Structure 1
């Protein structure tokens, strides 16, 4: 396996996450706030909320049981290939990824059941995990 040209530091964000879909005209619900990692994206046809799985009501359409990896910087805001170097070894080995980028870093959500395999693949590609 060829190592990535970028070697990044990663860490797991504590908890288990969900990716919820609400109607485009929905207001942002109260359960979508609080401590920890949250991402809220409104598009023309939906409102997507990424947050701790334990706060998403059962009746809300959501994909659950996601683990969250985060890059540990700093690195240049305009650095090319950061997301690609992370998702390429995962995608090419059948691991689906949901990516949320923030100003300071990338968050990769992978299914909890793929955690061990994802770590092995990312380490084999030159990335390292820190606590």
Structure 2
């Protein structure tokens, strides 16, 4: 494998919410832990710790997050593919969010241990999990 990535498991369970494309940025989406807000012509997606997402919002819960320790150069090829490939090749679903300095791989909590094993077997380094399921590392 040409690319080796250090992955940092973030504490807590994450949710992915879908709002209408013209919805205002929700105050509940901001706070500790990883947060990603993405607007397209079709939707506003919010990724945050799941306990902040209101029950009346369309959402998918029980995701765990692995931060790809960057930063990575914009032209550096294969970073995301190197972590998505081993996981998806074994039938596990993923959700990926990117930032200026790095990327975040989310997998269902029920698949988290298996995903970490697959990533380690592919040559990636998994840091020890952060303690607890509460507030995540920002």
TM-score, L = length of structure 2? 0.89
Partner residue, 2:94: 97
| Correspondence 1:21 to 2:18 | yes
| Correspondence 1:31 to 2:24 | no
Q: Distance in 1 between matches of 2:23 and 2:105?
A: 25
Cα RMSD of the aligned pairs, angstroms, is 1.0
Q: Show structure 1 runs of 4+ deviating over 6 A.
A: none
Q: How many residues are treated as equivalent by the alignment?
A: 128
Query: CA-to-partner distance for each residue in 1:54-106, whole Å, 9 max, x for gaps?
Result: 00001100000000001113443321000000000111100111000111111
Q: Which of 67, 79, 87 does residue 64 from structure 2 map onto?
A: 67
Q: Distance in 1 between matches of 2:83 and 2:20?
A: 31
| Correspondence 1:120 to 2:121 | no
Q: Which of 41, 46, 49 does residue 49 from structure 1 map onto?
A: 46
| Correspondence 1:130 to 2:127 | yes
Gaps of 5+ in 2: 129-138
Cα deviation for residue 35 of structure 1 reads 1.9
